[in-house]
Structure 1
Amino acid sequence: MLVRGLLLPHAWRNLRAAVPTLFSGFRYVSIQAYNAPEEAPRGDPDLIAQITAPRALYPHHIPTNTLQKLLLSAGSAFMSLYDPYRHDMIAVLGETTGTLALRSLREKMSQDPEGAQILHERPRICMSNLDIERFRELPDGTFGREYIRFLDVNHVTPDTRMPVKFVDDQELAYVAQRYREVHDLMHTLLGMPTTMLGEVVVKWFEAVQTGLPMCMLGAVFGPLRLSARRNKKVIELVPWAVRSGSNARCVLNIYYEKRWEQTVVSLREEIGILPSPTIKV
Structure 2
Amino acid sequence: MVAVLGETTGHLALLNLRDRMRNDPEGYTILTERPRIRLSTLDLNRMASLPDGSFGREYLRFLEDNHVTPDSRADVKFVDNEELAYVMQRYREVHDLLHTLLGMPTNMLGEVAVKWFEAAQTGLPMCVLGAALGPLRLNTSRLQSLLTSLGPWALQTGRQARCVLNVFYERRWEQNLEDLRQELNIEPPPIALSATKQRNT
The normalised TM-score by structure 2 is 0.94
Root-mean-square deviation (CA, aligned residues, Å) is 0.8
Stretches of structure 2 lacking an aligned partner (at least 5 in a row): 195-201
Trace 1:36-185 onto structure 2 (pairs within 5 A).
89-185=1-97
Note if contact 2:103-2:192 (Cα within 8 Å) is conserved in structure 1: no
- The answer to whether residue 121 in structure 2 is matched with residue 213 in structure 1 is no
Greater relative contact order (Cα < 8 A, sep 6+):
2
Runs of 4+ in 1 over 4 A off after TM superposition: none
Indicate the residue corresponding to 1:268 in structure 2: 181
Note if contact 1:143-1:262 (Cα within 8 Å) is conserved in structure 2: yes
- Stretch of structure 1 that moved more, 269-278 or 99-108: 269-278
Trace 1:199-238 onto structure 2 (pairs within 5 A).
199-235=111-147, 236-238=149-151
Stretches of structure 1 lacking an aligned partner (at least 5 in a row): 1-88
Aligned mates of 1:268, 1:96 — CA distance in 2: 32
Indicate the residue corresponding to 1:241 in structure 2: 154
Note if contact 1:142-1:262 (Cα within 8 Å) is conserved in structure 2: yes
Task: Give the CA deviation at 1:233.
Answer: 1.2
Note if contact 1:178-1:252 (Cα within 8 Å) is conserved in structure 2: yes
Note if contact 1:233-1:279 (Cα within 8 Å) is conserved in structure 2: no
Note if contact 2:150-2:191 (Cα within 8 Å) is conserved in structure 1: no
Aligned partner letter, 2:171 = K
Aligned partner letter, 1:199 = E
Task: Give the CA deviation at 1:91.
Answer: 1.1
Note if contact 2:105-2:193 (Cα within 8 Å) is conserved in structure 1: no
Indicate the residue corresponding to 2:199 in structure 1: none
Q: Counterpart of 2:51 in 1: which secondary structure? A: coil
Aligned mates of 1:277, 1:174 — CA distance in 2: 33
Aligned partner letter, 1:126 = R
User: Larger Cα Rg: Structure 1 or Structure 2?
Assistant: 1
The alignment of Structure 1 onto Structure 2 pairs a total of residues equal to 193
Q: Counterpart of 2:94 in 1: which secondary structure? A: helix
Task: Give the CA deviation at 1:274.
Answer: 1.4
Aligned mates of 2:193, 2:187 — CA distance in 1: 17
Task: Give the CA deviation at 1:244.
Answer: 0.5
- Deviation digits for residues 209-257 of structure 1, max 9, x if unmatched? 0000000001011000100011111121010011111110100000101
Aligned mates of 2:156, 2:118 — CA distance in 1: 11
Q: Counterpart of 1:246 in 2: which secondary structure? A: helix
Aligned partner letter, 2:59 = Y
Task: Give the CA deviation at 1:278.
Answer: 3.0
- Deviation digits for residues 8-65 of structure 1, max 9, x if unmatched? xxxxxxxxxxxxxxxxxxxxxxxxxxxxxxxxxxxxxxxxxxxxxxxxxxxxxxxxxx
Aligned partner letter, 1:154 = N
Aligned partner letter, 2:189 = S
Aligned mates of 1:182, 1:163 — CA distance in 2: 13
Aligned mates of 1:261, 1:179 — CA distance in 2: 22
